[in-house]
Structure 1
Amino acid sequence: MTHSGLSPDWNALADRSLAGELLSREQALAVLQAADTELLAQLAAAYRVRHHYWGNRVRLHFLLNAQSGLCPEDCNYCAQSKISAADIEKYPLLAQEKILAAAARADQLKAGTFCFVISGRSPSESVFQRVLAAVRTVKAQYPLKVCACLGLLDQRQTQQLAEAGVDRVNHNLNTSEKFHSHICTTHTFGDRISTLKAVQSAGITTCSGGILGMGESDEDVIDLALSLRQLNVTSVPVNFLIPITGTPLANQNQLDPRRCLRILCLYRFLLPTQEIRIAGGREVHLRSLQPLGLYPANSIFIGDYLTTPGQAAHRDLEMIEDAGFVLETADGSPLTPVPEAMPQLTTSIPT
């Protein structure tokens, strides 16, 4: 819900963010609760911060669900959890040739990062060793950064991931510490913090964000961003809940495109130097306003998500080009012009 009272000077908030100063809680709430008539001014101010650190470049990430379902956790949002009755494909860790096929697709689509995800609380030793082998092979064959999302990890595991060449590890906080128990009871918020700290101590950069629209309050939205700021994570995926039939949150519906854009603006103000990625739910909730999300955010997934389909790759590339942005290569430099062959590529992985 928005208010129609006196709004703050959004450019003053951008100035504060660029100076490295933290917005007050009152200012953060004002971003989330602003009237719809303020949205374009908010986006323009957030873009000032985004452009200062990221220019007009957009990073592409490609996501592979390398092991699906069969998870013992009870995360209420997830189609793969033990309490989910969602109709999804379930399979053990993919064979290495299928993982390599997905990496080849990521490279064709000019994604800078190949995101390798497995379901479960924490990988078994046999699965973990196969993951390490796959990472080494991908890194040897393609100029991709590899981001691994493997569940809860300890110091020994993160050190081995670093040695194998993993560039980044994803482990989302998902929501605020206060709201966490409403979403999951089989592990704690502290367990997630411990994994991120183990990743950082191994010298690997951290990717951590959340899922918005799960019933959390504005205060929870702010608290999640502040936790990510305190942890100094490198990359922040902002997911918008897709209510999946068969999950406890199937009937949750508190998002619209304008709410999503205000959240992205707030996260840019609170996390000025971080890569902010519009992740799951982009197509469902931003809909026709997707291009506006690139003004606060500087990264998107291209292709599908874990258990839900994404927008066709050629439409993502057209959106980026039409809005005047340029792709960024794995080393961070602009990729221009967009290769003509790219719109004809699909994101399906050969079976």
Structure 2
Amino acid sequence: MDWVDKARRILAGESLTPEEGLRILAVRDWAELLPVLAGAHLLRRAAFGEEVGFATLINAKSGLCPEDCAYCSQSSRSRATIPRYPLLAEEDIVRGAERAVALGARVYCVVTSGRAPTMGELERLAEAVRRIKAKSPALRVYGSFGLLDREGARILRESGLDGYNHNLNTSRRMYPRIATTHTYDDRLKTLRVVREAGMRVISGAIFGMGEEDSDVLALAEDLARAEVDEVPVNFLIPIPGTPLGHRLPLSPLRALVVLTFLRYRFPRTPLRVAGGRELSLRTLQPLALLVATSIFVGDYLTTPGQAPSEDVRLLRDLGWPVPASDRPEGSKEGLFLSP
């Protein structure tokens, strides 16, 4: 199949069929992947050019979670050694946004552990968002606070929150193997509530948890039906002490196959390479940006990321623009955005 021609037809209005999607996901060697990747890069350039956005996050509440998600070091099933603390003070969350701006990030994501935020937490988070938007109106502020009802979504939207990140994480078929304290439909309901409130809907997945090609396809269809505005792509970080701590990371080839498939399925949707990219993509991270449009820089929730200077070098090696930053090159000071 001529994948560059397929990309051109997608740009003209054609869609990727399920059969074509499974064909991409069945790729198992580089000789097969390279022509598919060429078409995916054509789609990326047509919609987004060579621009790469930086995003950062802050772990604003760590551990203490009653949910039993198998991948998560903060869950009730985890025995991992991690920081555990309640919701940070507003001032700490605001300072995290200042560090994001200094790094050149366009997106600042505030993340809290737990099933759902309490009303008191929502009010504190909303006030922090108001303060951030007053100081840095161009910075997109996203929240990821668990399950959300209409009242919570209204409070956050009125505070100026730009978007809400709530990943589906895997397919409906796989979901009971990953979590039992809430359902796949609970997550889909939160996405609907967010959209109805008028915020951007950000939802993606964690790949490498034992899913099959058909699961990746089914997940993508559910994301499309949810009309997501951005898709974060995570790769499992097998954390010792979690139920999935024994799994091997995805290979660079498989990680790129998944990203490539998602670009064909979502030709005009931002794809953000997030947690686990360093572990799964390793030295081939630049290839991910041939199809993805942004990356999380700095550290993740409870695991470290690579130094931001490495991400700057990655873009320079590609010959692509680097987001403006007032932080000294090579510095990692202040980028572990938690106490």
Same fold (TM over 0.5): yes
CA contact (8 A) 2:50 2:320 kept: yes
2:287 matched to which residue of 1? Answer: 292
1:239 matched to which residue of 2? Answer: 234
Deviation of 1:342 (Å): 4.3
Structure 1: how far apart are the matches of 2:14 and 2:193? 28
Deviation of 1:253 (Å): 2.0
1:223 matched to which residue of 2? Answer: 218
2:145 matched to which residue of 1? Answer: 150
CA contact (8 A) 2:168 2:204 kept: yes
Q: How does 1:164-243 map to 2 (within 5 A)?
A: 164-243=159-238
Aligned with 1:308: secondary structure?
A: coil
Structure 2: how far apart are the matches of 1:135 and 1:145? 10
CA contact (8 A) 1:109 1:345 kept: no
CA contact (8 A) 1:215 1:254 kept: no
Deviation of 1:200 (Å): 0.5
Higher alpha-carbon deviation: 316-325 or 108-117: 316-325
Amino acid at match of 2:193: A
1:15 matched to which residue of 2? Answer: 8
Deviation of 1:344 (Å): 3.4
Structure 1: how far apart are the matches of 2:14 and 2:211? 26
Q: How does 1:118-133 map to 2 (within 5 A)?
A: 118-133=112-127
- For each residue in 1:94-138, what CA deviation from the matched residue of structure 2 results, as whole angstroms up to 9, or x when unmatched? 112221221111010010011000000000111111111111111
State TM-score, norm by structure 2. 0.95
Amino acid at match of 2:44: R
Aligned with 2:84: secondary structure?
A: coil
Q: Which of the residues 331, 334, 338 maps onto 1:344?
A: 331
Q: Which of the residues 49, 54, 65 maps onto 2:59?
A: 65
Structure 2: how far apart are the matches of 1:350 and 1:193? 29
CA contact (8 A) 2:112 2:145 kept: yes
How much identity, in percent, do the aligned residues show?
46
Runs of 4+ aligned residues of structure 1 deviating over 6 Å after TM superposition are none
CA contact (8 A) 2:236 2:275 kept: yes
Higher alpha-carbon deviation: 95-104 or 10-19: 10-19
Q: 2:268 aligned with 1:273, yes or no?
A: yes
Residue segments in structure 2 that go unaligned for 5+ positions in a row: none
CA contact (8 A) 1:108 1:342 kept: no
CA contact (8 A) 2:59 2:338 kept: no
2:130 matched to which residue of 1? Answer: 136
CA contact (8 A) 2:122 2:156 kept: no
Amino acid at match of 2:62: S
Residue segments in structure 1 that go unaligned for 5+ positions in a row: 1-7, 329-334
2:101 matched to which residue of 1? Answer: 107
CA contact (8 A) 1:60 1:327 kept: no
Q: How does 1:29-44 map to 2 (within 5 A)?
A: 29-34=22-27, 35-44=29-38
Deviation of 1:45 (Å): 1.1
State TM-score, norm by structure 1. 0.92
Aligned with 1:57: secondary structure?
A: coil
Aligned with 2:110: secondary structure?
A: strand
1:48 matched to which residue of 2? Answer: 42
Amino acid at match of 1:29: L
